[in-house]
Amino acid sequence: MTSPPLRFQVNGHPQHLANVPDSERLLDTLRWRLGLKGTKEGCRTGDCGACTVLVDDRTTLSCLTLTHEVDGAKLTTIETGPEDLVVTRVRAAFDRAGALQCGYCTPGFVMALAGLLKERGTAAAREELLDGLGGNLCRCTGYAAIVRAVDELRTEGP
């Protein structure tokens, strides 16, 4: 069964999708219908954070979200352009801190941190930001570079 046509924005671009099955996950819509491959699938159970996107500037696990749940919403993925200053700042901090490793988990970390910063601002306590990243897993780093990126973002201001 499919829902009525869906309308939402992705990275500032309006989308109008018809014939989206009621059971289709947002992750699949982004990757396979819209070709936005930056959002990764890691676990399909919401345990790794690789699929994190922003829905109305709030962190959302796209593997646990049905596409019809975002009808009318504003979505932001790692592919957003420089007009999203927060995501741009987080990407740059990860680059400077060398927090990239293989890169598979990086989009999820960047989007989770961007969502936290949009919600709480750079005045958020370091531990608050790091706790907020607790649902994001990386299999190839000791997280030190990610912590350096968080510290840099807290000191550089809005």
For residue 1, being part of any structural domain is answered with no
| Same domain membership, residue 110 and residue 63 | no
| Same domain membership, residue 66 and residue 123 | no
Select from 76, 98, 118 the last residue of a domain: 76
| pTM (two decimals) | 0.93
pLDDT above 60: residue 58: yes
Q: Which has the closest alpha carbon to 108: 152, 69, 64, 74? A: 64
Question: Six-digit token pair at 23?
Answer: 């059971």
Q: Number of helices (H) and strands (E), helices first, in the chain? A: 5, 5
Identify the CATH number of the domain in which residue 10 sits. 3.10.20.30
pLDDT above 80: residue 150: yes
Select from 46, 76, 106 the last residue of a domain: 76
Average pLDDT on 8-34 reads 97
Mean pLDDT of the chain: 93
| Same domain membership, residue 49 and residue 29 | yes
Question: Six-digit token pair at 33?
Answer: 């219908």
Number of domains in the chain: 2
pLDDT above 60: residue 61: yes
Average pLDDT on 1-24 reads 92
The full length of the chain comes to: 158
95 to 62, 76, 135, 148: CA distances (angstroms): 24, 20, 21, 11
